[in-house]
Structure 1
Amino acid sequence: MKKIAIVVIMVMACLGCTHTQKTLPADLVKQYYILQIAKADTLVKQLYSKVQNNAPADSIKQAFKVARLAYKKTEFLAEYYNPLTAKSINGAPISSMDDNDQHKIDAPEGFQVIEPFIFPQYTNNRKSELLQEIGILKSNFVRLKSVAQHQELANAQVFDALRTEVFRIITLGISGFDAPIAQNSMAEGAAALTSVKEVLNIYKPEFKNQTKLNNTVQLLDKGIKNLAASSNFNAFDRMQFITAYANPLSASILNLSQQLGNPEFKDLRALKANAATLFDENAFDANYYTASYDAHMSKEKAELGKLLFYDVILSGSKNRSCGSCHKPELAFTDGVAKNATINGKSLVKRNTPTILNAGLQAASFYDNRVNYLEDQATDVISNADEMHGSMPTAVKRLKENPAYVLKFNAAFPKSKESVSDYNIRNALGSYIRTLTSLNSPFDKYVRGDKTKLTKQELNGFNLYMGKAKCGTCHFTPLFNGTVPPDFRVTETEVIGVPLNASSKEIDTDPGKYNLRKLTLYKNAFKTPTVRNIALTAPYMHNGIYKTLEEVVDFYNEGGGVGLGMDIPNQTLPFDKLNLTDTEKKDIVAFLKKLTDNTKR
């Protein structure tokens, strides 16, 4: 009996310890996350039931909306910890190449696939297909819940995920990227910000001085109210939301994380971990897009690369340099539809793109055929039409030049052979990576200088990010096809560029199809940056449009399909945008404010 009494006392003592032990905030966030997943899962099941039981169309529409609103409260952690599952739940409704089998196409699934079954008008003539898609969505929520239950959370990662969610709302949410037909983006943004607020409140006991936390929560309340008050997708003032709420929020969340003593992230990222906002002048790190640490930029490499860029020594006939076609005064383009071949007898295949911000993308060339600028250099130098040179010849010539040898030794002090094929290419790549151009009037405005944009230009930005749908492919703040908020992938799109400006026939260039013989890549081209676009005419991969007005008209018509072409794999929405003449002028006015004259 005495032994039993002792054991009971020990157990009770342990239970008392367990009862008083403080639950860590990251564990509370995990409980919150699992609860939100369960709520979303229940609502998806209700959507399935309504479709199955032939509920009224408005009831089905509402069920879809509330289900995705519930998912938005899980999004910050789902995307952060389980991006593949998140893609299956709310990824873009576009087929993609299987990562493990380049001959296989993965069909899209999730909310964005379901959306066009229900909006703008629901009919039950595709009921079985819709139920199948909702069934897949239900399965994906089961998978998300399973992985969430085994996921360990860390405070620093939670705050990083919260800040990333603010970036996601800016770049994808308010542009309508994942609600293009339902146009419920503002309500969904409000739901996402609500989850940010609720998670921050979980951490409230951890702050000795709660002033900054309370200020952040108040700012969140204002941002949520601003989003929730907008029932008109096209009329929403995106610039005001970004500058008054989103930018201060991302900076404040970073500050709160630091206040808690969370460790700084040391990992290399495209968007630096310590960037307070998306629009900080030095927010992006071009070194992220290199193949290795050894390929990172240095002052000596960049200076050498600049010399090589303007030197004809790299071309076979010594009569053309990189700078011959990439002219600084034209934002490093050449001003013609297609440049002449090096022998002057014909034209090169495609229009010369700008290399400003070329270091801030995950692939190069119009068909995305190489991943690194070093490989781009090889391709251009050895191309018979462009420079008709060879890397072995370039190495030989440079080794015979004492001045260059000294500069290579300084730039690559650890190399056994400083003048080498790779070092030539790395020097060129390093120079191009310095051509980061993120200091236009637009950038200065979002950083606080309200004198830099007029009312017309502000309206142009809001149209760009809203009604005109430009921001769903040319993502802010880089305004190219590098997908936010992690900026790891650079997209290609099929938009149906015609053979010439007056043609109703698609251009014969197969684009990315040359690289991967998949039907979804036929006539697919990289989404280029529209930064400095006022200086880079003519436009499109074939240079057929001479003015920005022509480009805007093309998109207003719905691309190639809108012009009457048969393009079954077009990824650009082919419904007309119905932009007024004034709206088109406003968009052009805004685009001209993306010009940065500091990189010449």
Structure 2
Amino acid sequence: MISEKNRPVPAHKTAEPNAWWIIALVAGLLFLIGLYGLFRPRPTALQRVQTQYISDIALLDSAVRTLQRVIVEKRPVAAWKQAFLEARLCYKRVEFLTELYNPETAKSINGPNLPEVDEADKRVEQPEGLQVLEEFVFHYDPEQQAEAVVQVALVVSNVGRLTKVAATNEMTDSHIFDAMRLDVFRLISLGIAGFDSPIARHSLPEAVQVLESLRQHLSFYKLPEKDARLAAQLDHVFADAIASLNRGPDFNRFDRLTFITNQANVLSGLLLDAQRVLNIPVFQESRFLSAQARTLTDPDAFDSNFFVNSNDDRPTAERVALGKLLFYDPILSGNSKRSCASCHQPERAFTDGEPTSLGVAGARSKRNAPTLLNASLQAVQFMDSRVVFLEDQASDVIANETEMHGSLPAAVRALQQRNEYRNRFVKAYKAGVTEYTVKNALASYIRSLTSLDSRIDRYLRNDAGRHQPARLTVEEKHGFNLFMGKGQCATCHFFPLFNGTVPPMFAKTESEVLGTPATPANHQLDADVGKFKTTAMDLQKHAFKTPTIRHVAKTAPYMHNGVYQTLEQVVDFYNQGGGNGLGFSLPNQTLPDSKLDLTKTEQAALVAFMKAL
């Protein structure tokens, strides 16, 4: 018989103290974990932006690899299209940060499908990326299968490059907000105009992805905690803009004028307000497009004095007044009979109404006199872009044997002999009268000839609270939407300057090969080779700078050779597909040679819009 003393203890009784110890340990650990979760540093908005960017790049990488697979495996064209469009949507979610931190990679992924000339190195860079692939996907040709495989491999490689560098980008909150607003400007001026989706016309769904991405990144900044009302306004405008894009019937019929005026412009302004409410510094450095512009159509959005050789060349009131005096004085010409105003008459928007200008001794120049209004809002001068600065344009014209047949040394000697000029130069420049100060005075006056206040501009500003509201006719509104959409005009004459200076950085002014005819009969290509005379590169034969079309109602006749007397003729030329559409053989024509199929009513609306600009 086992005694009570030696009887075994039941197992559950021996385990009881250990169980409580384990429970206490687990509870303690959970408590510590809770404390850590409560007090650990939260990810900053910037960290969340970077994490999201890396995640979105991963989605893009997956999408382009899927596209590569369907192309390599020769799946049906419908699968190509679906995979391609999905890849583009994914790219649009990363576009604003990619353009900011890796602009060259962005160009490799989504640059225009046109060869680019490096004029300094006399080298031609062939295009690559999604826009090149778009041609293969939507104009499918089995014989181009191998090239499509090469191009999609390049896209995959460039997205891979993004993946590698994404985590190393040195981001700041100021850069993020700057990039968000620039992307709104990019969407307005390029995106909804079809600039980077010229064949698929997938621009509206892509614009939705742009706005969804910006909205998500803005949410990381906890704006409601700072200003709940502003946060609600922004959320409402984002939702309204996205709904407008989703409601758009199609690319050709989308109401861009209403979208820009009531949604996109409001959005860019509110993003600037949000940046300030969050105490995130706004960049103050000198830029052509001000970092503090609320919209692209602000009266002071652009710095007309930006494209100067140095800050010492910036205009002053004295220099502008002196330049104006010189502009109208024939003292600069060889025969003292012609002035700058002989070919650039204010009442004609600083043109002369001639197909090609009359020079000294009645000789004609080779080209039409361009307007000087907004000449400072472009990165190069002359129709063949042969000089960068307005100072060099002035000296070129003065010395030109046909135009003024003068010389700067002779002009300096003549000016030094006049007390009024001598005194004015001393007040404007420490150096007094020199060849360079003569050029700079003229350039200063031309830089003052900035005009960005048409009825179109005032309507887009929607500033009825400050001014009498601008009114546009139904036809003018229709013309704006055609210009920005079906007519494809805004893919070369970029909004809002309506010249060839490329948004949203506005650092480069483009040239185009249009195939302009020699006569209005449209039977023969004009002989002027344009930029080729300067660069001697075949790709630039017949290339001319894209001019402004502001004040175009006053600047007839049109084109570099003044071949067309009316805007109706100009629109018809583009509607036909340019020179190649007329039957010329121009392998380097940059203007799409397919017909626009604009009706007579649509052509008239385009003309009405341009006359209001």
Taking structure 2 as the reference length, the TM-score comes to 0.92
Structure 2 residue 398 is the aligned partner of structure 1 residue 381: yes
Among 379, 394, 419, the alignment partner of 1:362 is 379
Residues 1:566 and 2:563 aligned together: no
2:427 aligned with 1:407, yes or no?
no
State the partner residue of 2:312. 294
1:98 corresponds in structure 2 to: 118
1: CA distance between counterparts of 2:539 and 2:409? 37
Matches within 5 A, 1:58-457: 58-98=78-118, 102-119=121-138, 121-204=139-222, 207-344=225-362, 346-412=363-429, 415=430, 417-448=431-462, 451-457=470-476
- State the alpha-carbon separation in 2 of the partners of residues 122 and 218 from structure 1: 41
Q: Is the 8 A contact 2:350 2:373 kept in 1?
A: yes
The 1-side partners of 2:165 and 2:390 are apart by 37
Calculate the aligned-residue CA RMSD, in Å.
1.7
Q: In the alignment, does 2:501 pair up with 1:482?
A: yes
Question: What per-residue deviation string (whole Å, max 9, x for no partner) do you get for residues 343-366 of structure 1?
Answer: 21x310100000000010000000
CA contact (8 A) 1:206 1:260 kept: no
Kept in 1: contact 2:223–2:231 (CA 8 A): no
Q: How does 1:523-562 map to 2 (within 5 A)?
A: 523-562=542-581
Report what 1:8 is aligned to. none
Report percent identity of matched pairs: 47
Residue range with higher mean Cα deviation, 222-231 or 307-316: 222-231
Query: Which of 499, 504, 518 is the equivalent residue of 2:523?
Result: 504
Cα deviation per residue 1:117-151 (whole Å; 9 max; x = unaligned)?
011x4343311100100000111111122222210
In 2, Cα distance between equivalents of 1:435 and 1:18: 61
Counterparts of 2:46 and 2:216 in 1: how far apart (Å)?
13
Within 5 Å, give how 1:11-30 maps onto structure 2.
20-30=40-50
Q: CA deviation at 1:503?
A: 3.2
Matches of 1:476 and 1:57 in 2, distance apart?
A: 34
**Distance of 1:336 and 1:563 partners within structure 2:** 25
Q: How far is the alpha carbon of 1:323 from its aligned partner?
A: 0.7
Contact 2:224 2:231 in 1 (8 A): no
Distance in 1 between residues matched to 2:388 and 2:470, nearest whole Å: 39
Q: What corresponds to 2:24 in structure 1?
A: none
Q: Aligned residue pairs: how many?
A: 577
* Cα distance in 1 between the residues matched to 2:562 and 2:262: 39
**Counterpart residue type for residue 549 of structure 2:** V
More deviation, 185-194/140-149 = 140-149
Question: d(CA) in 1 for partners of 2:470 and 2:44?
Answer: 47
1:229 CA displacement = 2.4
Find the residue that maps to 2:189 and give its secondary structure: helix
Matches of 2:224 and 2:163, distance apart in 1: 27
Once the 2 structures are TM-superposed, how far is the Cα of residue 231 of structure 1 from its aligned partner? 4.6
| Aligned mate of 1:517, from 536, 545, 550 | 536
For 1:206 and 1:433, locate their aligned partners in 2 and report how far apart those are by CA, in whole Å: 43
Amino acid at match of 1:78: T
Q: CA deviation at 1:210?
A: 2.4
Paired residue secondary structure (1:515): helix
Whether contact under 8 Å (2:522, 2:582) holds in the other structure is no
- Give SS of 1:97's match: strand
- Displacement, 1:409? 1.5
Describe the SS at the equivalent of 2:360.
coil
Cα deviation code 1:250-286 (max 9, x no counterpart): 1000111111112231211111111110001111101
Q: Is the 8 A contact 2:322 2:425 kept in 1?
A: yes
Are 1:207 and 1:260, in contact at CA under 8 Å, matched by a contact in 2? no
Q: Distance in 2 between matches of 1:503 and 1:200?
A: 53
User: Residues 205 and 497 of structure 1: is their aligned pair in 2 closer, same or farther, counting only changes over 3 Å?
Assistant: closer
Q: Give the aligned partner of residue 580 of structure 1.
A: 599
- Distance in 2 (CA, whole Å) between partners of 1:569 and 1:48 is 29
| Counterpart secondary structure, 2:588 | coil
Question: Which residue is 1:7 aligned to?
Answer: none
Following superposition, the deviation at residue 18 of structure 1 comes to 12
Residue 423 (structure 1) shift: 1.0
Structure 1 residue ranges, 4+ long, deviating more than 6 angstroms after superposition: none
Give the gaps of 5 or more residues in structure 1. Answer: 1-11, 595-600
**Computing the radius of gyration over CA atoms, which structure comes out larger, 1 or 2?**
2
Q: Is the 8 A contact 2:227 2:277 kept in 1?
A: no
Q: Report the secondary structure of 1:340's partner residue.
A: coil
* Structure 1 residue 330, shift from structure 2 partner: 0.3
- How big is the shift at 1:438? 0.6
Deviations 1:47-106 (A, max 9, x none): 01011112221121011001011000111111112111111110111111237x522110
Is the Cα–Cα contact under 8 Å of residues 226 and 277 in structure 2 kept in the other structure?
A: no
Match of 1:43 in 2: 63
Distance 1:258 1:277 in 2: 16
Query: Aligned partners of 1:49 and 1:105: how far apart in 2?
Result: 30
Counterpart of 1:598 in structure 2 is none
2:374–2:450 CA contact under 8 A, matched in 1: yes
Letter in 1 for 2:92: K
Quickly say closer, same or farther: Cα 1:158–1:305, change in 2 above 3 A. Answer: same
The alignment status of 1:54 with 2:68, answered yes or no, reads no
| Aligned equivalents of 2:41, 2:142: Cα separation in 1 | 54
CA contact (8 A) 1:187 1:227 kept: yes
Amino acid at match of 2:435: D
Secondary structure of the structure 1 residue equivalent to 2:80: helix
Q: Is the partner of 1:94 in helix, strand or coil?
A: coil
Indicate conservation of the 8 Å contact 2:360/2:403, yes or no. yes
Q: Secondary structure at the match of 1:481?
A: coil
CA distance in 2, matches of 1:205, 1:399: 62
Deviation, structure 1 residue 402? 1.1
Q: Is contact 2:56–2:90 with CA below 8 Å preserved after alignment?
A: yes
Aligned equivalents of 1:338 and 1:368: distance in 2? 18
Question: Residue 286 of structure 1 aligns to a residue in which SS?
Answer: coil
Give the TM-score normalised by the residue count of structure 1.
0.94
CA distance in 2, matches of 1:511, 1:205: 53
3-state SS in 2 of match to 1:493 = strand
Taking the aligned partners of 2:286 and 2:191, their CA distance within structure 1 comes to: 25
1:493/1:524 contact within 8 Å kept: yes
Unpaired runs of 5+ residues, structure 2, are 1-31
